[in-house]
Structure 1
Amino acid sequence: MAIKKRLISPRQKMINLMYIVLLAMLALNISTEVLDGFSIVEDSLNRTTGNATQENVALYRDFEMQMKQNPEKVKAWFEKATSVKLMSDSLYDFAQQLKVAIVKKADGKNGDVYNIENKDNLDAASEVMLAPLTGQGKSLFLRVNNYRERILKMVDDPHQKRIIADNLSTSVPRKARLQGKNWQEYMFENMPVAAAVTLLSKLQSDVRYAEGEVLHTLVSNIDVKDIRVNKLSAYVIPEKTVLYPGERFNANIVMAAVDTTLQPQIFVNGQRVMAHNGQYGFTASGVGEHSISGYILMQNRKGDLIRRNFLQKYSVIPAPNSATVAADMMNVLYAGYPNPMSVSVPGVPANAVSVSMSGGSMTAKGNGHFVAVPAAVGKDVTIHVTARDKGQMRTLPPFVFHVRKLPDPTAYIALGTNRFKGGGMSKAALMGASGINAAIDDGLLDIPFRVLSFETVFFDNMGNAVPVASAGANFSDRQRETFRALSRNRRFYISHVKAIGPDGITRTLTGALEVIVR
């Protein structure tokens, strides 16, 4: 098909020449910090995409398992899930091929997407995506549109539909349209390699997100989790399996996935027991190994009786003559940090127990509670316990603990009692937040750190990273001004968070916290 070229006026030629000169000047002045900002965002996107991929893989495994158990019911939904995987992988892999092509165009045939050398190259993306005969931009545009239209038909939630539609939108801003640009030109024309690769990584992340939303919709339609109750097993769940003479044995005897509207019949040692909500108890006998056995009877939906046998072993031991030392948070102690400890000796009151520690300090807090502060990382500490029992002092075996450095905390934004660690946030909540906090809160520890400084990385309409620093824990005035200008679904990243812990050690946190304005 012949292409009719428009005549270009001398004035337009001059404007084009000035634009080329401007781009050349821009290329000469792209800072290392801006390009490194793209690397930070790229790493964060790759982690997010990796997590989404793992979740999707788990859902596909659920589908495969349920397909084997009940193919008649699951087949239609399994086929839809398979088609979602195929078209998601197709677009994802195509974006990956484009990233590789752009990097190799900039760095040569040995170019590595994960180690880009010529990040500021402004020609590679244009050549790969916009070349008149070989450009892949139009193909990517059509593939994204096709994927978006097909995937939206499989999502029921209107809110999720809007998110997916926005993430995979190929509309062009008004300013770019007035300049005569199409989507691929707006996205890749004169775009630095680092920015072009990051844009394609964002597309891959959006594809995995959309794939996951569709899979969750399909899962909810076939009630994958409800199918699992077809497998019923009997369990004895004891409160403890090691008892002292005269102590009661308490346990829950239940059938897994039991219907709470039906009470099963429980038989122990041939006799039916009235165990309310499956709770059963008896008094332990002499020292040694013991067991209880029996079976459970329960009706299924057809009215048939299902029987499941059970056997539970337990031990009865004499009262111990040794101390128990336990770290309240973890089975390690942290240097320079006040570690809560609980120390007890069975049969001995707390005020008759004395505790000391070599390699640090030990402070009593009363009622068997202590605070241990090891002096140095990597040097084991030994805890010594003595007890006054029936007028005599007993020295019990020592306890050795390894000493480690406090792990790095996680950065978050405090929203009332909630800790925001990435994802979508309303603009009102963002404007109401004071700044950045950091803490170790992995479910075992909850140790606050003091934030000394951090950096936010924004992206302008050209995809350029704009880092803004804060010399403290609070958002700076300039950062807040940028927040006010953010539109819905715009993203920015919080990185280079520097914090100091209760051990007095200052550290710079790795990774970046992604914020999506909702």
Structure 2
Amino acid sequence: MAGGAKESPRQRMIGMMYLVLTALLALQVSNTVLEKFIFIDESLRHSVSTTTETNSRSVDAIRETVKKNGNRERDVSIVKKAEQARSLTSKVMKRLSDFREEIVKVSGGKDPETGVLLGAKDYDKQMAYTIGPEGSKKGEAYKIQKELNDYVTEINKLHKDLNESSIALDGKDHPLYKNNPEQKSKDFAYLNFDHTPAVACLAIVSELQSKVARVEAKALEVLASEVGADQLKFDKIVAVVKPQSQVVAAGTEYVAEMFLAASSSGAKPEMTFNGKAISVEGGIGQIKFKAQGGGYDKEGKAKKTWKGAIKINTPLGDTTFEVTEEYFVAKPVVQVQSQAVSALYYNCGNELVVNVPALGTAYQPSFKANGASVIKGSKKGEVTVVPTKGNVTLSVYSSGNKLDDIKLRVKPVPKPEIKVFSGRKPVDLRNGYTAPGPRSIEVKAIPDADFKSFLPKDARYKVVAWEATLARGKRGLASKKVTSETVNVSDFAAKAKSGDRIVIEIKRVMRMNFRGQTEAVKGLDDVIFTIPIN
């Protein structure tokens, strides 16, 4: 993305796309995500094709204007510079196309019948080509970086008013990553192609071509202004909309430019978006709005439209051009990460991490739940869900816009296992003790191992009430009511004889949750253990 003190809306959208690609490094890429990248790649390629055709017509317009003006020497030099811009652009576009095809080839090629990329998920093979051996900097991406930045340098030489920024940046120079400790140390190749699926690499290459086309368009615009080729011609006027992408994730900004194909800096058009006036800079209307989700089809896309109007003043009076633009809103993929993936535990602090990679830095989450209370975490996307019903619906929002409802199953907390010890060793309930028997008895509630591993703060148990009785036949000789886990039974040993038994009866077990609150564990108040005295 081009650097600079102030980022354009287009640059912010490009940065958002890079964040989506970076998020793939830590995820198991699903077929649905891959399909979205194919869709994005196709949209970008269409945009590049449209811009390239427009640029070609711009060169023709410059030639025609210079010819009509008598081929003045100064104007002819402008034509040569415009042709040079075309030549430089065609060369670098061809280079990127070859680079793209080689990525397809090394990752497995395409199915000859369906045209499907066979190695869509591969990143090892493409990395060997784009990055090369670790530390070598001999991968093709390093050559591409130099050629792209050299291209911008040569374009800037064509006119004093051209000051386009570099296209292929390292992490330390990238506005989005220069303050990110994990990304700023990466160079251009690693930032874009390290552990990136081949299908995403194609979208990256298409985006690079889009940047090249934009640089050329700016150069031709400046050159055209020198010969009057950008002046409005009233014999043929077409309203044009140039969206940055026809696919946007719900909750992100849709950004587009609406302008007249032959508009000039001298024209002062008035423009509206859905009936409301918009800002016009240099004859170009600035359109920006939050894309609203809902009404998704089975592929997770929602077809939307917006309407614009451009009014200009001509010698014949005011003329208004209207346009209706179609775009698609892609349903963002909401990813929920949790230790207890299969279900949440009832009345426990289930810690979740909810991410939406497609939103990138625009992701500003908030949560609501039906059947549970929620506690927002200290980091973005972190939330603690405390279920109060058997099923929970977690609603995910970003900047106040609802993204999705996540259905979560709830399961009861597993009961702990009650175990009896003596002298820190488990009591042998089958064989018992030789008279006079044990001197102390300890009773513990041992939590389920998986539950304790998932939620250690909710797996704190204690037997708070139990009774120990020395019995002979049907008669109890001595009894102790205990409120701690351990009791001294030396007095039992003084009375015990062979054939007696010690009966342990559990009265009450408590669990402490993540808030430090306690609750009784049901179903353990009738558990009885018998220790034989031989």
Asked if TM exceeds 0.5, the reply is no
Larger Rg: 2
Name the TM tier (shorter chain). Answer: 0.3 to 0.5
TM-score (norm 1): 0.41
